[in-house]
Amino acid sequence: MSRGAFFFASFSWVAAFAGVPAGVPADVGVWTSFPASLPGHRLPDVPLLGDTRGYGVALDAHGPTGKPANASGPGRAAALDLWHNSNAFWSCLDASHPQCAAGNVDDEVRACCTGLALGGVSLLFSPTFAAAALATFTAHQRIANGELATAWATPLGGRISTSTRMATDGSHAAATTVSYSPAGDEPPELVMDVAVWVLSSAAPCCANGPRVLADPAPVAVGCADGAGAPQPCAAAAAAATYATRAAATTPNASSVMPVFGAVAARVDPPAAVLWRAVTAGGSASLRGVNWEATTRVRVPAGGSVVIVSAVGVTHGAGAADPAPRAAAAAAGTSGGAAAASADAFWGAWWAASGVDLPGEPAVASMFNGNAFALAAFSGFGDDDVPPGLYGPWASMDQPAWSGDYVSVARPPAKKYPARS
């Protein structure tokens, strides 16, 4: 049975806080089956994490029933998907557009903005293990130290483990440690693919004209050095792979806030890299057209590698390419640095914010879970954009209620338990 995360809009909480010492929470959310629920129009029932500065990661995973390994983008079998996004990744049209003029529902702000999905990083274990061999999965959302942990049982009793931490230093980077412990005569090393991808808008959707049209083509994919400068993927100087998405607006309306986003990732140590490649395109689907850059990685038995991924977002006409920012952040962040900054932030946060109510465990669970969420999705950082309805975890363009800002109850609803 799967136990899920917090749902701000519906107040549907399924949380586990057994053994919370002195108000410091342990896990909130334990999954014993594959979430396999992204993309979605609402806040997903998957492990969530934020960097306390408006950037976040939503963790999804797929077992044998996922897409084939030779597909692209998220949702493949025997794969862990780290969906990256930001509070700042929105697209807006002028309120005079027909789609906006008719949409002033529930006193919505009239700028006609919509949340967008950006992209992410997939860890594909299929080069070593058939999808059917990795059918046992668990995941933990550990709010005490800001960690997403997964474990995959291998056929003879071994294990693939992952631990994801987000740096809280403004780098907008996440570090995922992948460890491999084989059993019996299982392969002596884990060969896996690290795919960096972004999503593209689907075809026009609305009778009166869409809010967002197909993205400019081509979406950029490639490799960069430690400073974020483009490099051939075969070059020794290549440190990170990246993919970039630009949000386009309709041609008959002026753009209020065009936005550009990039996801980048690198492997530590570099010696674990076997090769890199880019894929321009993919199959059109509900997720859009996927564009990705792939790195094949070797993890030794009893050892680990760290995948550092980061996001860059820029706005406005003539905005700078966000890929160098994302690639430089990935290259400049280590797993140790990400963990140290997360430990420092969450330790201080819980010292000031955790509650222990022995007679009211359900109330304490809701308060502590919301306190984690408040910290995870908040923070203005360098983008100066507060969270919308789903914070930095939108996984589909135009999610429910456009993930919007409104003057009614929905945004404050995220904060009600903490305010109590």
Considering only CA atoms, give the Rg of the chain.
Answer: 21
In a domain, 222, yes or no: yes
In a domain, 251, yes or no: yes
In a domain, 37, yes or no: no
Read off φ and ψ for residue 209, nearest 5 degrees. Answer: 105, 135
* Across 215-219, average pLDDT: 48
- Give CA–CA dist 160/239, Å, rounded: 25
- Give CA–CA dist 193/176, Å, rounded: 14
Question: Can you give the pLDDT at residue 248?
Answer: 57
Q: How large a percentage of the chain has pLDDT more than 70?
A: 72
Domain encompassing residue 201: 50-134+151-334+382-419
- Give CA–CA dist 105/118, Å, rounded: 26
pLDDT tens readout for residues 261-309 = 899 999 999 999 999 988 754 433 333 445 688 999 999 999 999 999 9
What's the pTM? Answer: 0.87
- Give CA–CA dist 55/342, Å, rounded: 14
In a domain, 19, yes or no: no
**Smallest Cα–Cα separation from 263: which of 283, 245, 289?**
245
Q: Quick check: 46 and 5 in contact, CB under 8 A? A: yes
In a domain, 74, yes or no: yes
**Smallest Cα–Cα separation from 358: which of 30, 28, 27, 19?**
19
Residues 6+ apart with CB under 8 A from 111: 92, 93, 95, 100, 256
- Give CA–CA dist 111/100, Å, rounded: 8
Give the chain's domain count: 1
pLDDT tens readout for residues 313-361 = 987 767 788 889 999 999 999 999 999 999 999 988 888 888 888 888 7
pLDDT tens readout for residues 97-116 = 555 555 444 444 444 677 78
Please count the other Cβ atoms lying within 10 Å of the Cβ belonging to residue 2.
18
CA 91 to chain CA centroid, nearest Å: 18
Report residue 49 as tokens: 């994490």
Q: Tell me what the pLDDT averaged over the chain comes to.
A: 78
Q: How large a percentage of the chain has pLDDT more than 90?
A: 42
In a domain, 10, yes or no: no
In a domain, 257, yes or no: yes
| Choice between 95 and 66, residue whose per-residue pLDDT is larger | 66
- Give CA–CA dist 258/212, Å, rounded: 10
Check which CATH number belongs to the domain holding 239 and give it: 2.70.98
In a domain, 1, yes or no: no
β-strand partners of 311: 263
Encoded amino acid at 160, one letter: I
